C-alpha cells in the first residue's frame, strides 16, 4: 500500500521561500519516479517538477530557475524547494509517485499506476 504524505505548505510573502516535503512508504521498486503537481481553484492541474529513478529532473517552464526538486533515497523523501515565490504559485501542491517513471510530458504520476498524496496548501500573499 503506497502512501504519500506532504508537509511544509503555508503562507509566505511574495519573494519568499518554502520547502515542501513528501514522505513515501510502500514503494516496492526503486524505479518509481516522484514529483509534484499543483492545482489552484478554477485552474487545470499543472505538473511542477519530477525526478526520475535515475536522478534526472524536469520542471515546468513557469518554475524553472526558482524551484528545485531533490530526493533522499535512503529515507524515501522528496523535497521541493521553492524560492522567489509569486502570487501565481498559490495552489494546493500534491506529491506523486509512479512506477512507470516520468512521462513524455515530463510529469510523474499520471499513469494508471500513479499515486498522489492529500496535498499541502501554498499561499503566496502580502
Instruction: Give residue 65's pLDDT.
Output: 97
Calculate the CA 89 to chain-centre distance.
13
Task: Reply yes or no on whether the pLDDT at 116 is more than 90.
Answer: yes
Nearest Cα to 16, choosing from 89, 94, 95, 92? 89
Q: Please give the share of the chain, as a percent, with pLDDT higher than 90.
A: 77
- Residue 13's pLDDT band, with cuts at 50, 70 and 90, is very high
H helical segments located in the chain: none
> What are the cell numbers at 25?
512508504
Distance CA 20, CA 72 (A): 13
Distance CA 64, CA 10 (A): 21
Task: Reply yes or no on whether the pLDDT at 17 is more than 90.
Answer: yes
The torsion region of residue 99 among left (phi > 0), alpha (psi -120 to 50) and beta comes to: alpha
Instruction: Give residue 49's pLDDT.
Output: 97
The whole-chain average pLDDT of the chain stands at 94
Instruction: Give residue 73's pLDDT.
Output: 74
pLDDT tens-digit series, residues 49-93:
999 989 999 999 999 999 999 998 777 899 999 999 999 999 999
Amino acid at each position: 500500500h503506497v502512501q504519500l504524505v506532504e508537509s511544509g505548505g503555508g503562507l509566505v510573502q511574495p519573494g519568499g521561500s518554502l520547502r515542501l516535503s513528501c514522505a513515501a512508504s510502500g514503494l516496492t521498486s526503486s524505479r518509481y519516479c516522484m514529483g509534484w503537481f499543483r492545482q489552484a481553484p478554477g485552474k487545470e492541474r499543472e505538473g511542477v517538477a519530477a525526478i526520475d529513478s535515475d536522478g534526472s529532473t524536469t520542471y515546468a517552464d513557469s518554475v524553472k530557475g526558482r524551484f528545485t526538486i531533490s530526493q533522499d533515497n535512503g529515507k524515501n523523501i522528496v523535497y521541493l524547494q521553492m524560492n522567489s515565490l509569486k502570487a501565481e504559485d498559490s495552489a494546493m501542491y500534491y506529491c506523486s509517485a509512479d512506477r512507470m517513471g516520468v512521462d513524455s510530458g515530463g510529469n510523474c504520476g499520471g499513469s494508471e499506476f500513479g499515486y498522489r498524496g492529500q496535498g499541502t496548501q501554498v499561499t503566496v500573499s502580502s
